[in-house]
Amino acid sequence: MRHILRSQQFDRPFLDKLFQRAGEHRQRFAKPRRRRSPIYSLQGRILVNLFWEPSTRTRLSFALAGLHIGMKVETTENAEEFSSTVKGGSLEDEIHVVSSYHPDVIVIRHKSEGAAERAAAVSQVPIINAGDGAGEHPTQALTDLCTVLWEKGYLDGLRVAIGGDLAKGRTVHSLVRSLVNCCEDPKFAFVSPPSLHLKEDTKAYLRERGVCFSETESMREALPSADVVYWTRVQLERYPVEERQQYEDLTRQYAIGIKELELMRDDAVLMHPLPRNEEVSPDVDADPRAAYFRQAEYGMYVRMALLEWVLEE
Ligand code: ASP
């Protein structure tokens, strides 16, 4: 079974194949609707979305990805409230039961780190991790790397500035690992206040592999040399209520507006997994380097290709 659980499982040949196929899907959608031939590559196969945490992009892009290639889709969008876990049922029991109804794939988002692995251990069908707490978000990393490829034209030798909540931002943990595993010689500058510094295990991952990185609070230091600027919000929901105000205030200290954009190279790309709060001003949306809405769109093409790979016969 082809589970997608962590970004460490990806390698470059896998990415090359996936992004090639995602590119074909993208091209199809570039045509006007009447000239677009439908694809039935997963005709009649069934996708179940089980989301214990809120989501717009991941949930809907998986659902639409499935529908666009002929799948049927069933979704529980607030499993925390509407699934039997509210009555005390365990994640394992839920997956055991849902997978016994013979869907073809289950996409799961959960608040606990390691949830997708626990699900995979009891599932009869492939599990796709759509975010496990502050752990990982591997399909976002695929989306992010595909965006870099399509926006910049290459994936090797990148200088990447990553800012925001590096402690609890799961997209950061997954992106860093996949850049290290799949791309030649990435260099990282991590921009955050000390209280949001990169999670220790991700730093250890970099050190063990001899990857070059720096940590700074200064955007002025990190932005000018970056090919890719990847910004993230503070994951307020993962902090105790009484600490949230203090973290919210930090957001303003590392916000990207017109002035910060001027620090960036003309050929840099500005990415964000969304949703954004105040860390990227809407004033920069019109700049051609601001790629976050394209990034969200590309996510659907990547997920179409990924579903096809997971369910390849
Ligand atoms: N949508 C992304 C995630 O689910 C990023 C975020 O929520 O800040 O991790």
- Over residues 66-102, the pLDDT tens digits come to 999 999 999 988 777 777 777 777 999 999 999 999 9
* CA atoms of 23 and 276, how far apart (whole Å): 26
Q: Beta 159-163 vs 72-76: how paired, if at all? A: unpaired
Please choose, from the candidates 50, 202, 201, the residue with its C-alpha nearest in 3D space to the C-alpha of residue 116: 50
| 161/192 Cα distance (integer angstroms) | 11
At 209, which amino acid appears? R
Please give the number of the atom of ligand 1 that sits closest to the Cα of 233. 8
- What are the angstrom distances between the C-alpha of 188 and each of 99, 129, 223, 311? 40, 25, 11, 34
pTM of the model: 0.97
Distance 276 CA to ligand 1 centre (A): 9
pLDDT of residue 302: 98
Burial of 288 (0-12, 13-18, 19+ CB in 10 A): exposed
Region at 167 (left for phi over 0; alpha for psi -120 to 50; beta for the rest): alpha
Residues of the chain with pLDDT below 70 are none
Distance between CA atoms of residues 233 and 164, nearest Å: 6
Q: Nearest Cα to 107, choosing from 134, 160, 71, 147?
A: 71
Closest atom, ligand 1, to C-alpha of 170:
9
- Per-residue pLDDT, 280: 97
Query: CB–CB of 108/116 below 8 Å?
Result: yes
How far, in Å, is the centroid of ligand 1 from the Cα of 66?
21
Q: Which residues line ligand 1 (CB under 6 A)?
A: 131, 137, 170-171, 232-233, 273
Can you tell me the distance from the alpha carbon of 130 to that of 158, in angstroms, rounded to the nearest whole number?
26
Using the atom order of ligand 1, give the atom closest to the CA of residue 56: 1
pLDDT in the model for residue 297: 98
Gap between the Cα atoms of 209 and 281, Å rounded: 35
Distance 49 CA to ligand 1 centre (A): 17
What atom in ligand 1 is closest to the CA of residue 109?
A: 4
Whether the Cβ atoms of residue 162 and residue 172 lie closer than 8 Å to each other:
yes
* Residue whose CA lies nearest to ligand 1 atom number 2: 273
Active site residues: 57-58, 87, 109, 137
- Smallest CA separation from ligand 1 atom 4, residue: 131
How far does the centroid of ligand 1 lie from the alpha carbon of residue 32, in Å? 31
d(CA 254, CA 163): 8
